[in-house]
Structure 1
Amino acid sequence: MTERAESLKVLVDKVTSNNKTEVDEMEHSLLRMLNSQDKTYEDHISYLRKLNDKLYYDLSCTDLQILKITVLQILKIEPIPDTTRPVPPVFSADQCNEEDVIKLLGKLILSDENPEVRNLKPMKTDTKQAKNPEKQGEKSDVKLSLSSDVTQVREYIIQGVKDVFHLSVYKSGILWASDLEGKLVQEDSNGVQLQKIETGDQGKGFHAVTSDGYLMYAVKNQKVVVKTTLDNKMTEFISTKNWKPLSIHYSRINGDILVGMRNIGEAKITRFNRTGEMQDIQRDNTVLYSVPHYITENANGDICTSDINYSAVVVVNNSGQYRFSYTGLGPEFRPYGICTDVLGHILVCDNGMHCIHVLNQDGEFLSLILAQQQGIDSPCSLCVDDENYLYVGQRGSNLVKVFKFIQ
């Protein structure tokens, strides 16, 4: 029912947008007609003024022949041009009540049938699989692998942003995109803009979407993380106290919120749940982060951070213990947006080499994908949706490209 409601909302937004466009076209058409008639009246008034001037001039003349000609001209004055009165459009709308909405969304009906008694047979237990659930999970992933041929399947033009420095996808086709000036836009799979928010705060990976579709974003100057309510209003969700929040990530594993923060030269990542602060991701006596602008979480619980100042991807486990850092293939490595896929791969934008690096979950380099040959220039943001499609945003362009990279 929720999916049908979302689909209906998309259709309502689309019809509303189409109606607004149609009204604009009607208005322009009526204005063109009125402007044309206005020109006709102006020409006729100009004609009458010239005739009036000639009449005054001729009346001062004593030549009867000239006066006779003038009188004949007056008798042949052109009539006022015919014009039409525009007919404005009439808005027609049917009344919609609760019953109509129920018909569209459906409702639950209890069956009149008597419950059927089921005959259950004892189930045999596969002790080998029960003893090693991790291997069982690996078997389910055998069918999926990185594609040798990454293909573009569609693209979005995000209206209202200059470029795309961060992306958050709720479900396939519905995404939030933001630029460096803090403009935040939501679009659906048809390219229809659903919402636009002026956060007024510069940021990179500063927003995320929960599993039930609620938007969260960091407000750096106010030192808070806000979240949408049911009526799309923003409410304070987390206070970061003296720390400025730079980036956030919503955990699909347990619903925790990971927040990258900075305060007077120090940086850290903190894990929050609904009850408040849970865990600071730091190493004693060792600087782990400088500017954690982008955060993501891998399938094994690892926290992966793209640190632009350190030119490195820093990875710790779910309890905050350091695992490894990845510093690219050369000194030009400039890590920006970061995400993971269903296979546990780490994907990170390289704004220096204009491509995307693919690592395994232990930090080993696997490949480079989507370089300038595929039309990717200065990639800054990326994410993977629930259907394993890869979304890529770029600096200097409001175009988001979508690729199939898992087969």
Structure 2
Amino acid sequence: FQMATSLPVTAQHYLECGTEDCEKNCQFYCNPCHRQLCEQCRDKHQKSPDTKNHEVVPFLQHKRLLPVDKCKLHPTRNADILCNECNIPLCSKCTTMEEHFGHKFVDMEDIDAEKFAFCLEEISKIQEYFLPTSKEMKTETDEDGREVKKIMDGIRNSIKAEAKSLKDLVDKVTSDKLEQANTIEKSLLTVLKQQEKTYDDYNKYLEKLLKEFHGYLPLSNFKVLLSANFENSKIQSIPETTKPVPPVFTAGQFTYDDVSKLLGKIDVPNIKPDKRKIKPMATSSTQLKPTGKEMKQDREKSDMKQTLSLSSSVTKVREYTIPDVDSVYHISLGKSGRLWGSDKCGNLVQTDLQGNLLLKIQTSGRDDGYHTVTQDGDLFFTDIKNKVIKRITQDKTITEFIKTGDWEPISIHSSHINGDILVGMIKGREAKVTRYNKTGEEKQNIQRDNKGQGLYKYPHYITENINGDICISDINKRAVVVVNKSEQHRFSYTGQGSLFLPYGICTDLLGHIIVCFSNLINNKVLILNQDGQFLSLLLTPQQGIYPRGLCVDDENNFHVGQRNTNTVTVYKYLQ
């Protein structure tokens, strides 16, 4: 059977009532008749004697109309019953046949509904738990890989440093030994130089003596020879000297192991590695264990979800003003009736519902959803100029929380599911959404679809739905772009024919997506279901509005800020 993932394919279809000549929005479904019904037609349907016992449910809980499959034995009848014993489709006439006597039969629609619900539940498990948990574990392995590389880089640096230290010592010892060799050589050469001088002096003495004896030999010196006294002319003996004793070099005795022992070694601990912890499905949320009060609130919300539905009309509840701004492009609701509003000139104001000014600061914000209130009551806002996300605590202290590097943070939202901070950012022609945890650690970057195409152009408003979907109002892409928590693109809503310029966006307790848009002739607020199907217009141009900022309060009313006034109007749209 066709699975629920096909819903986004028809996400922009206008759901109309199936009653003839009725063009109102479809909100209900009759399972036996397989008819789409508006609220009024539902009432008539349930009052009619023929259909008063029919099962009429909210549209999202309807059974699907199965394709017609003719019975093989009775071709004029539809095979709409399943024999549990034989596991084959039958018609009503087949159930009376002898071979099926005593067998149990089930309506094919019930089986389809059961299997359809099973598939939705399995899809939900995969999207809500298995896929995110697996991706978290993959992220953990990536972080472990970076940590291992960091450790090994440290070990390599230690080895190099130790080797350099040893090399420096070797160089020092080598230098000292060379100096010793030079000193020995100098000493030996000095002795040999002295011996050389001794022999130079002796040679001069011999040459002088030789010259003297030659002088006696000519006949003209005969008288001199007779008178010469040779008794004192004995030749002096040759001086004795010693041969130098050169040093002997004894080579050092060392091996590779000897050198290796001088340096440190790498040890791999003989420890059994710990298994990675897999978060159990029941506690897959990153929230702290809820308190009794929070559990009561959750039960109340769950009970409310069972009873609430989309009203056929929108009712104005009240108005309030935000002082010191000339328009209201974004609203962030806080605790105790306190709220924040901003205009396109960077004025960010905190006020109460009576219009009393509590705090005003000047920011670099523009006509974007650049501030958000956390569950703790703090306010985060983006400083686009300095590329920083700042925090204002309840005691009005302003601190820097996250630096976004080269990216300009233009929109921000604090998750009501787990307290994560979602930030829409741009850099040149690139755009992305980054998820941070409560401490400012980056957890996720969403930038491209599975085909490598950019998901966003200018994500100037951002919110999160109850199922974890990240919903972006992208004015440059002229679309509401929705991505699930596993970074998979679910759908993009681009309006219904006219130029779609989305601004403020928010979601409610039932998973509705509320978005306001504006162009030259149309200024509207519309509502989609969480699968992107258009449900109805909440506000129309006939009401004379120029909507920009949107939010939903704890009483399930939506607040609308406008571009031409500092008055915020509150409307009731659920019943």
Shorter chain as normaliser: what TM range?
A: 0.5 to 0.7
Equivalent position to 2:566, from 388, 394, 398:
398
Deviation at 1:402, TM superposition (A): 0.6
Report the structure, 1 or 2, having the larger strand content: 1
| CA separation of 1:139 and 1:210: change in aligned 2, threshold 3 A | closer
Equivalent position to 2:384, from 200, 220, 224:
220
**Rounded Cα–Cα distance in structure 2 between residues aligned with 1:305 and 1:264:** 19
Equivalent position to 1:366, from 535, 540, 548:
535
CA contact (8 A) 2:556 2:574 kept: yes
- Which residue in the other structure is 1:338 paired with? 505
Deviation at 1:139, TM superposition (A): 7.1
**Rounded Cα–Cα distance in structure 1 between residues aligned with 2:415 and 2:364:** 26
- Pairing 1:300–2:467 present: yes
**Rounded Cα–Cα distance in structure 2 between residues aligned with 1:163 and 1:139:** 37
CA contact (8 A) 1:299 1:342 kept: yes
**Rounded Cα–Cα distance in structure 2 between residues aligned with 1:402 and 1:181:** 24
- Pairing 1:329–2:493 present: no
- Pairing 1:181–2:345 present: yes
- Pairing 1:277–2:442 present: yes
- Which residue in the other structure is 1:157 paired with? 321
- Deviation string for 1:140-199 (max 9, x for gaps)? 622001111211111112211111111111147321110001101111122211111111
Q: Which has the higher contact order (CA 8 A, sep 6+)?
A: 1
| CA separation of 1:320 and 1:372: change in aligned 2, threshold 3 A | same
Task: Name the TM-score, length of structure 2 as normaliser.
Answer: 0.46
- Which residue in the other structure is 1:239 paired with? 403
CA contact (8 A) 1:203 1:246 kept: no
- Which residue in the other structure is 2:554 paired with? 386
User: Residue type matched to 1:343 in 2?
Assistant: L
Q: How many positions carry a matched residue from both structures? A: 277
Deviation at 1:231, TM superposition (A): 2.7
Q: Secondary structure at the match of 2:492?
A: strand
User: Residue type matched to 1:152 in 2?
Assistant: K
CA contact (8 A) 1:164 1:394 kept: yes
| CA separation of 1:229 and 1:332: change in aligned 2, threshold 3 A | same
User: Residue type matched to 2:477 in 1?
Assistant: Y
**Rounded Cα–Cα distance in structure 2 between residues aligned with 1:172 and 1:355:** 30
Deviation at 1:405, TM superposition (A): 1.1
User: Residue type matched to 1:404 in 2?
Assistant: K
Larger Rg: 2
CA contact (8 A) 1:171 1:386 kept: no
Equivalent position to 1:357, from 509, 526, 535:
526
- Which residue in the other structure is 2:23 paired with? none
Q: Which range moves more in the overlay, 265-274 or 194-203?
A: 194-203
CA contact (8 A) 1:150 1:403 kept: yes
Deviation at 1:294, TM superposition (A): 0.2
- Deviation string for 1:47-94 (max 9, x for gaps)? xxxxxxxxxxxxxxxxxxxxxxxxxxxxxxxxxxxxxxxxxxxxxxxx
- Which residue in the other structure is 2:477 paired with? 310
- Which residue in the other structure is 1:147 paired with? 311
CA contact (8 A) 2:323 2:356 kept: no
| CA separation of 1:349 and 1:199: change in aligned 2, threshold 3 A | same
User: Residue type matched to 2:459 in 1?
Assistant: P
- Which residue in the other structure is 1:70 paired with? none
CA contact (8 A) 1:357 1:369 kept: yes
| CA separation of 1:139 and 1:168: change in aligned 2, threshold 3 A | closer
Report the structure, 1 or 2, having the larger helix content: 2
Deviation at 1:264, TM superposition (A): 1.3
| CA separation of 1:406 and 1:171: change in aligned 2, threshold 3 A | farther
Deviation at 1:373, TM superposition (A): 2.9
How many percent identity over aligned positions?
Answer: 56
Q: Secondary structure at the match of 2:568?
A: strand
**Rounded Cα–Cα distance in structure 2 between residues aligned with 1:182 and 1:259:** 18
**Rounded Cα–Cα distance in structure 2 between residues aligned with 1:229 and 1:151:** 35
CA contact (8 A) 2:505 2:516 kept: yes
Equivalent position to 1:263, from 416, 427, 451:
427
- Which residue in the other structure is 2:218 paired with? none
Q: Secondary structure at the match of 1:204?
A: coil
